[in-house]
A and B are shown apart, each in its own frame.
Chain A
Amino acid sequence: MERSFEKEVRSLRLGAGDTFHGEGILAITKALLQSGVSYVGGYQGAPVSHVMDVLTDAQDLLDDMGIHFEACSNEAAAAAMCAASINYPMRGAVCWKSVVGTNVASDALSNLASAGVMGGTLLLVGEDYGEGASVIQERSHAFAMKSSIVLLDPRPHLPLVVDMVEKAFELSEASNTPVMMEFRIRACHVHGRFECKDNVPAKVSRNAVLTDPSFDYSRICLPPATYAQEKHKIDYRLPAAVDFIRENKLNEVFSGECEDVGIIVQGGLYNSVIRGLQQLGLADSFGESRLPIMALNVTYPLVPDEITSFCAGKRAVLMVEEGNPDYLEQAVNVILRKADLNTRVVGKDVLPMAGEYTLAVVIDGLKKFVEGSLPQGLDHTDVARRGDAVAANRTHAIELLGAPTPVRPPGFCTGCPERPVFTAIKLVEKEVGNIHVSADIGCHTFSTLPPFNIGNSVLGYGLGLASAAGVAPAFGDKRVVSIMGDGGLWHNGLTSGVAGAVFNQSDSVLVIMNNGYSSATGQQHIPSTGTNFRSEPTGQNIRDALKGLGVKWQRTVTTYEVGNMMKTLREALSTKTKGLKVIIAESECQLAKQRRIRPLLRKQLERGERLIRTRFGVDDDVCTGDHSCIRLSGCPSLTIKPNPDPLRKDPVAHVNNGCVGCGLCGETADAATLCPSFYRADIVQNPSAFDRLLNRFRRAVIGFLQGRPAAVA
């Protein structure tokens, strides 16, 4: 794994009287243990990968408590794991990245929500929305509404978050309904503190095992039970949830002196509203606000009488709700209409319909709300002045800068084994013309960005090959290429892609990036790692899996061999053999590799062992500053520097100290007939006496040829 949480895991053992200091995601994990969970599972993905990583590192603690932890194959498997809570009083939690993970999980989720749960069930979803997000921009909210799942969106204040996790299990049990809790990216990474409680052993666990299976037909998702289940949701479960939310005051109301207006906000955005009000001179540092605020820590279902009692007597309320559609604004409007209240609901008319609610956005929306609703007793000109000053400062800055700051899109790491594959594709395209490439989700999706710009569609994790099914035949004899990572392959691509393509006798090419980990999410182990998260051997590999599915044309190529990869690609694109052709592009994730070998190398060096360190360089007097090499690589360590030749204007290529000597520069210089400026330097560390002698001899002879006195080096 990319990050080790061994140190942090100790804080999971803290008990009553201790103060926890740490990251939000770790606090949530601690809250699970304080809630008496029997099982935890999930699928990695930012921003909740760390839940999985922390639990992986916390095996000893989980074993002590008899808690089962499962690194699930995908989100559907994680959601299905919750079936344990349908029949038994087992509390459990699963996590994934949303909205994409929720999409994958939704089949199991629908069934789970229909059957209803006996044990508290918590779905922790990382709402990957806005800056730093890596997926399509949609809301998880819709899933909660359509499946009658309770949705929590707590205020990002760690003591409250921990309390909400504990309450979520009670709420789930009180209403037989699974509870989903969403955390935005910044909330997952927030660092704060809270007062701990003791961890609670589960009712059912490896330490307290079940003896008798429970059979209850009403829990099976098959008609006629499904009709009764739907009715049960409406007649019993949702009302029970609403009662619980009201009685336990899960939503919070903060009073303010301007009682003729108010703000209703998703709990997760509460801090932004307070800070926005503060910048407009309407709140203090401790959250005291002139405008009354209702923070919805539960965003589905709403409690109608809470909304009406907050809005009663107010001329206007501002609904601060991130993303689209505006489910909450619509729901609040309906509640007010039914209660025959005339309070005007302002929301997406002063705040943007789409996009992240950063502070700039919130401040602007609050300012417009104040200007439009003119709260009694407020100096709204002062509010406008402050709001305008914020905007004017930015406008002035942009004028001064003159040109937009160049973006820094994510890209392949230094020495990434996936980069050479796209170099090869780009070079093959020069020979055969552009190829339609069905891209996939993973680090390799960066191929769609500069400098490669390879990939015509991205349809979802593991769906690279499946998304070529319709378009491939339309290109006739010109084969399309699909990309899939080993992460996507095991997630679902093996069935949705490979099995489907063989079954339908698709005549296309699939490149599987086998780097041995689920790399983009933090290098978690997957079946092609060869070992599981406990580092136990699993005996799984891609070749055998493909063979079992009937893939006849298979080639394995080391990714760094650009020439070989080009040859194999040409063959796959032109061979007379029909059917699916799979190229397994194999090399270990460089991040994982560096983390693995660096300490070993350091020790070897300290022991005085002879070691060769390789890196690349550019002769700056040979380079002419065309940067073709960069356009075929994009490696972070292959950069530019000012041209040492006073006559030349264009900067020269330069390899910086980050170089790990992966070899791509040399391979590209060869394969693309680029430029002789590159050199490879193999530095002999802890040289033997023979190394030194040989070197001295060579330097002496070469020095003689160069007409200079023999140098010692």
Chain B
Amino acid sequence: MTILENEPRPITILIGALGGEGGGLLTNWLVAAAAAADLPVQSTSIPGVAQRTGATTYYLEVFPTETAELNGKMPVMSLYPGPGNMDVVVASELLEAGRAIENGFVSPDRTTLIASTHRIYAIAEKSAMGDGVHDSDRVLAAAREMADSAMLHDLAKTAEANGTALNAVLLGMIAGSGKLPLPDSAYEDAIRAQGVAVDANLRGFAAGLSLARDTEEPKAEAVETAPPEQRIELDFPAPVAEFAAHGVSKLADYQDMRYARLYLDRLQTVLAVDSQQKSWKLTREVARYLALWMSYEDVIRVADLKTRADRYNRVRAEVGAKADEPVRVTEFLKPGVEEVASLLPPGLGAALSGWAARRGLTARLHVARRVRTDTIFGFLQLWLLAKLRFWRRRTYRFSQEQALMEKWLAALVALAPRDYAFAVELAECANLLKGYGETQARGHGNFEQVFDTIVAPALGGAATDAARLRSAREAALADPEGQALGQALAV
């Protein structure tokens, strides 16, 4: 017996998708197209519990010789994809392409990789307390290196632009890859035979086909650089100026120009201890976080954002309302003692806040309010609240935030000459301060804990340890219960 290297072998196709993306239908189209051409074909899948949002795979083999010509012999087809043995790997999303590459299914000698570059985030990426998103660039680079040919496009966008589903576009890409010995009409007939949303799917197929056959590199998308609304002469080096400009427009929008100037003055004090050799890294980060901190989220800000002129239309677009369809918008607000105290003058606010804390009422005294901002009365409530902006400088919350901010800035300025890296880490600690209600309280608590345990001793003359500060900051973002932070600070 001789086993020939060049004998026909099954064309292998692995499809990685997420539950509910129509991977099953895509497989059925391919099976139908091959079966109609009398090519031996086999498909299988791993749905299992993966049908509920998990990753799922479909696997097909198509033998390139018609059954009639095989004289009764049938190829033995595998139920499993073989690493190093895939002709076509299809991924409906970038991470699934990464998974196929990771499992060795993409190899430079034979694999055509067809993948959509859009992202659907995994739960670990979504639930991180900061930015937990997987590095897409690394996956793209691996895809280009590992595949014989890589067809990478944002197919979700293509599907949306053509009013069709992603799986139909993928079918077009598979056809366009020319890996299967089938004419375009075979796929189109399969779409018609399956009878599911035929017109839309034929449109998607055509879009995928032309995308696959279009050899031009997709043009890089132009990056929008909106000039800041307020033109100020900025005495900042280029790396800082960009953020400073954003900061100025943000704060002018948040409060007024006077407040924006205060921001620039504060930034100047940091710039004074920074230098070109360090590429102004400290000032750049402070420009970012100081602007965010100074525009801290309070009820006035929320009311302001929710009553902006462009907001209603943004909501309409987001929920896909048609031109003649009125949209009722309900806001979920839950003002409590802290929110009331934050609006009072410092003395009164502190008294109320302290009283509630002593009685253990801070977390309990809340009124769940649902406000309809599409109605006149509901809108008026938030609109009037937003008008309290003039009062903001006199509030308890304002005085508290400014005090903490000054403490942070003073520490930065004092420590930067001694340990620049430590100061940069301290600047980043401001990212712990965000959110509302419980999240905000937790963030403040974490910030103060880190400050008191690591920064205050340094100010008192103790040695600085940038690595420890970094790990404490990362620990504070590791879990909402503060377990990791507790451990990090105990070290």
Contact = CB atoms under 8 A, between A and B. Distances in A.
B191 to A, nearest CB: 16
Interface stretch (A505-513, A531-539, A579-587, A705-713): A705-713
Given A400-B142, A666-B332, A680-B332, A706 B307 contact: yes
Interface in A662-694: 666, 669-670, 672-676, 678-685, 687, 691-692, 694
A626 B480 CA distance: 10
A670 B435 CA distance: 15
Contacts of B95: 405-406, 408
B1 A646 contact: no
A410 B134 contact: no
B465 interface: no
Nearest to B9: A285
B214 interface: no
Q: Which of under 10, 10 to 19, 20 to 34, or 35 or more describes the interface residues of B?
A: 35 or more
A133 B46 CA distance: 9
Contact of A134 (B48, B142, B438): B48
B45 to A, nearest CB: 5
B52 A446 contact: yes
B329 A679 contact: yes
A80 B32 CA distance: 41
B464 to A, nearest CB: 24
A624 B435 contact: yes
Interface stretch (B70-78, B170-178, B180-188, B406-414): B70-78
A499 to B, nearest CB: 30
B239 to A, nearest CB: 14
Contacts of A646: 243, 246
B124 interface: yes
A639 B121 contact: yes
Interface residues of A, number: 128
Interface stretch (A29-37, A347-355, A389-397): A389-397
Interface string B279-322: 00000000010011000010000100111110111011011111
A89 interface: no
- Among A281, A673, A694, the most chain B Cβ lie within 10 Å of the Cβ of A673
Given A389-B84, A405-B99, A678-B332, A278 B9 contact: yes
B131 A651 contact: yes
Contacts of B373: 679
Interface string B108-125: 000000000000111111
A398 B435 CA distance: 37
Contacts of A628: 435, 438-439, 480
Contact of A401 (B50, B101, B319, B443): B101
Interface string A638-660: 11100001111111000001000
B331 interface: yes
B134 to A, nearest CB: 6
Contacts of A563: 368
Given A288-B1, A405-B95, A619-B306, A279 B85 contact: yes
Interface in B424-445: 431, 434-439, 443
Given A185-B48, A186-B79, A411 B130 contact: no
Contacts of A675: 435-437, 439
Contact of B54 (A190, A286, A409): A409
Contact of A397 (B101, B124, B127, B375): B101
A682 B330 CA distance: 8
B332 A450 contact: no
B138 interface: yes
B102 A398 contact: yes
A189 B58 CA distance: 10
B434 A624 contact: yes
Contacts of B315: 617, 679, 681
Contacts of B50: 132, 408, 410
A276 interface: yes
Contacts of A282: 3
Interface stretch (A114-122, A358-366, A486-494): A358-366
Contacts of A619: 305-306, 311
Contacts of A706: 307-309
A123 interface: no
B3 A288 contact: yes
A359 B376 contact: no
A691 B324 CA distance: 10
Contact of A673 (B3, B329, B336, B380): B336
A405 B49 contact: no
A684 B135 contact: no
Given A132-B50, A673-B366, A640 B133 contact: yes
Interface in B23-73: 27, 31, 35, 41-56, 59, 63, 73
Contact of B75 (A128, A285, A627, A630): A285
B331 A290 contact: no
A410 B63 CA distance: 33
B325 interface: yes
B126 interface: yes
A701 interface: yes
Interface in B226-242: none
A713 B321 CA distance: 10
Interface string A268-297: 001110111011011111111010000000
A443 B52 contact: yes
A451 interface: yes
Contacts of B308: 706
Contact of B48 (A133, A360, A624): A133
B306 A625 contact: no
A270 B79 CA distance: 10
A539 B212 CA distance: 57
A520 B84 contact: no
Given A132-B48, A413-B53, A640-B121, A680 B102 contact: no
B462 interface: no
B327 interface: yes
Contacts of B126: 627, 630, 634, 638-640
Contacts of A702: 312, 374, 376, 379
A162 B83 CA distance: 30
Given A404-B102, A406-B124, A698-B374, A286 B73 contact: yes
A634 B127 contact: yes
A283 B3 contact: yes
A404 B10 CA distance: 31
B326 A684 contact: yes
A496 B213 CA distance: 62
Contact of A271 (B79, B102, B376): B79
Contacts of B121: 639-640
A189 B47 contact: yes
Nearest to B134: A406
B437 A649 contact: no
B328 A684 contact: yes
Interface in B109-162: 120-131, 133-135, 138-139, 141-142, 145-146
A329 interface: no
Contacts of B431: 649-650
Given A627-B127, A679-B330, 13 more contacts: A190-B43, A271-B78, A274-B76, A279-B84, A408-B122, A563-B368, A624-B435, A670-B332, A673-B363, A679-B306, A681-B327, A682-B328, A706-B307
16 contacts: A46-B49, A133-B48, A157-B76, A281-B5, A282-B3, A405-B98, A410-B51, A413-B52, A563-B368, A617-B315, A645-B250, A672-B437, A673-B334, A675-B439, A681-B330, A695-B326
Closest 8 CB pairs of A and B: A394-B104, A132-B48, A695-B326, A132-B46, A275-B78, A624-B434, A400-B142, A406-B122
Interface of A: 21, 46-47, 128, 131-134, 156-157, 184-187, 189-193, 256-257, 270-272, 274-276, 278-279, 281-288, 290, 358-360, 363, 389-391, 393-394, 396-398, 400-413, 443, 446, 449-451, 520, 563, 615, 617, 619, 621-622, 624-628, 630-631, 634, 636, 638-640, 645-651, 657, 666, 669-670, 672-676, 678-685, 687, 691-692, 694-695, 698-699, 701-703, 705-708, 711, 713
